[in-house]
Chains A and B, each alone.
Chain A
Amino acid sequence: MLQAINVHKSFGETGVLKGVSVRVSRGEVVAIIGRSGSGKSTLLRCMNNLETVDGGEIRIGGEALVSPGPDGKPVYKKDGELRALMLKMGMVFQDYNLFPHYSVLRNLTAPQMLVLKRSAKEAREKAMALLAKVGLEEKANEYPCNLSGGQCQRVAIARALCMDPEILCFDEPTSALDPQLTQEVLSVIRALAEEKRTMVVVTHEMNFARDVADRVIYMENGLVVEDGPAQEVLGANRSEAIRAFAGEANY
């Protein structure tokens, strides 16, 4: 479904991704964990075409977003097809990035109408259904500035879902939230996992990763160090590296 093969990325001199390969199957929930600076966000951003890779290949639903050309340099899909391909991906950011000048409802309907050319009525119905799903129907006419962080993040999740992405990515969706608000967001993501949605979640919430993810990827220094079923990577027999890392995180 989603595949990164030997992805390289540097910012100037510093290598941030040093040959990362990741594979996400349909219906799978993959958690990416690792220390700050290990390259988790960069990987997710490369997969969402928010950063360009320096080498390697990224495939979404069998189609190459980027692949090495004859000279080994990465070649991206052409503009028109690229946009269509990226619609398969959805992304939820740490700081929500809601549109402050739009009401909650319009945050959800505008992208549907502008990008998917849905009618106002259709967009509205979809938006209200998804707001109900994240428990925020009654906030439809509020503006984001009047919502709590947890509510904003749930709106952002609903907005991403409005576009019917095949794969939904989250970059530390709860890092800006206090523990109580974290739980309300995590329970929304948990519900999505139960629907067998394909999701990639970068998180520091180790309990969440163990309980919700099918697979856990542990990154260190721009490399995937561990990749396996959540129970193995984070279970009783977890490795020294994970123990050391989890000792610092809130495990």
Chain B
Amino acid sequence: MRYFNNPEAFMKLMASMQSGIVATLTIFFATLIFSIPLGMVIALLRMNRRRIISLPVSLYILVMRGTPLMLQIFAIYFAIPMLTGTNLNRMTATILAFSLNYAAYFAEIFRGGIMAIPVGQHEACQVLGFTKTQTFFHVVLPQVVKRVLLPVSNEVITLVKDTSLANIIAVGELFRAAKNEASRTASVEPLFVAGLFYLLMNGVVTLVFSYLTRRMDYYKD
């Protein structure tokens, strides 16, 4: 053992992995911030009655869910500069790929949630004179949130672990930092520490979602 029985070496390890942790958290939060609203927009477009709108969106969802995220990261990092001529920063490409990918998953979860709202709710809104927008924001969305919490928590937990995929375009996130440290010192301990960190993050995610679930428990449908 190189680190676990040596507090000083362990602190050094943590310090060298610190920027990796920051990068991982950046990918994680940025993806959530972008993909959740985007997922809602995609869900609504997917449900549009006009096929010209819903069909391309279905195709988008098929491609995003049907190909490896790793490939998508590659594609965005290398293809966008080729198409647009502007260079994409590694972190930006990563966040873009993750957001587009996770938005597709969230879209399908949200679509399921929206479709599960009884038609009676829409009809009640209509006879009361609500506009479509009021119906969505005041009646549909709050009920969808409660219904999708569980499947969304699954995705968020997966996202924590998926952040490690960014290392394939050499983003210095946690997994890459741990791997580098491990090969530099010929020890598996940094990888073990990384694993613990992912686990810790998901522990927090689990707690947050169980708090949100309890918050939503004030009514049953």
Residues of A within 8 A of B (CB): 48-50, 83, 86-87, 89-91, 93, 95, 97-101, 110-111, 114-116, 143-145, 159-160, 163
C-alpha gap A38/B97 in the complex (Å): 55
C-alpha gap A236/B139 in the complex (Å): 48
**CB pair A89 B130 closer than 8 Å:** no
| B residues less than 8 Å from A95 (CB atoms) | 120
What are the interface flags for B121-164 relative to A under an 8 Å C-beta threshold, 1 for contact and 0 otherwise? 10110111111001000110011001000000000000000000
Which of A86, A111, A145 meets B220, CB within 8 Å?
A145
| A residues less than 8 Å from B8 (CB atoms) | none
Tell me, rounded to whole Å, the shortest Cβ–Cβ distance linking A78 to chain B: 15
C-alpha gap A115/B220 in the complex (Å): 26
**CB pair A97 B219 closer than 8 Å:** no
**CB pair B219 A50 closer than 8 Å:** no
C-alpha gap A111/B130 in the complex (Å): 7
A-B contacts, 27 of them at CB < 8 A, read: A48-B127, A50-B126, A83-B131, A86-B126, A86-B129, A93-B123, A97-B118, A97-B120, A97-B124, A99-B121, A100-B219, A100-B221, A101-B139, A101-B142, A101-B146, A111-B128, A111-B130, A114-B130, A114-B138, A115-B129, A115-B130, A116-B129, A143-B219, A145-B220, A160-B128, A163-B128, A163-B129
Closest-by-CB residue of B relative to A98 is B124
Tell me, rounded to whole Å, the shortest Cβ–Cβ distance linking B45 to chain A: 22
**CB pair A145 B120 closer than 8 Å:** no
| A residues less than 8 Å from B120 (CB atoms) | 93, 95, 97
C-alpha gap A55/B133 in the complex (Å): 30
CB contact under 8 A between A101 and B128, given known A50-B123, A93-B120, A93-B123: no
**CB pair B220 A100 closer than 8 Å:** yes
Closest-by-CB residue of A relative to B137 is A114
Residues of B within 8 A of A (CB): 118, 120-121, 123-124, 126-131, 134, 138-139, 142-143, 146, 218-221
Tell me, rounded to whole Å, the shortest Cβ–Cβ distance linking A166 to chain B: 13
CB contact under 8 A between A89 and B127, given known A97-B121, A99-B139, A114-B134: yes
C-alpha gap A90/B220 in the complex (Å): 26
Closest 5 CB pairs of A and B: A97-B124, A97-B120, A115-B129, A91-B127, A111-B128
**CB pair B128 A49 closer than 8 Å:** no
| B residues less than 8 Å from A93 (CB atoms) | 120, 123-124
CB contact under 8 A between A97 and B130, given known A143-B219, A144-B219: no
| A residues less than 8 Å from B118 (CB atoms) | 97
| A residues less than 8 Å from B142 (CB atoms) | 101
C-alpha gap A87/B124 in the complex (Å): 12
**CB pair B219 A101 closer than 8 Å:** yes
C-alpha gap A45/B134 in the complex (Å): 22
| A residues less than 8 Å from B221 (CB atoms) | 100, 145
Tell me, rounded to whole Å, the shortest Cβ–Cβ distance linking A210 to chain B: 28
Tell me, rounded to whole Å, the shortest Cβ–Cβ distance linking B119 to chain A: 9
Closest-by-CB residue of A relative to B135 is A114
**CB pair B124 A99 closer than 8 Å:** yes
Interface centre among B120, B129, B142, B143 (most CB of A within 10 A): B129
**CB pair B127 A50 closer than 8 Å:** yes
C-alpha gap A89/B221 in the complex (Å): 27
C-alpha gap A101/B134 in the complex (Å): 15
| A residues less than 8 Å from B138 (CB atoms) | 110, 114
C-alpha gap A245/B143 in the complex (Å): 42
| B residues less than 8 Å from A48 (CB atoms) | 127
C-alpha gap A87/B218 in the complex (Å): 31
Interface centre among B126, B143, B146 (most CB of A within 10 A): B126
| B residues less than 8 Å from A115 (CB atoms) | 128-130, 134
9 further A-B pairs in the complex, CB-CB below 8 A; given A91-B127, A97-B123? A50-B126, A50-B127, A95-B120, A99-B139, A114-B138, A143-B218, A145-B219, A160-B127, A160-B128
**CB pair B129 A87 closer than 8 Å:** yes
Tell me, rounded to whole Å, the shortest Cβ–Cβ distance linking A250 to chain B: 25
Closest-by-CB residue of A relative to B131 is A83
Tell me, rounded to whole Å, the shortest Cβ–Cβ distance linking A144 to chain B: 7
C-alpha gap A86/B126 in the complex (Å): 9
Closest-by-CB residue of A relative to B139 is A99
| B residues less than 8 Å from A83 (CB atoms) | 129, 131
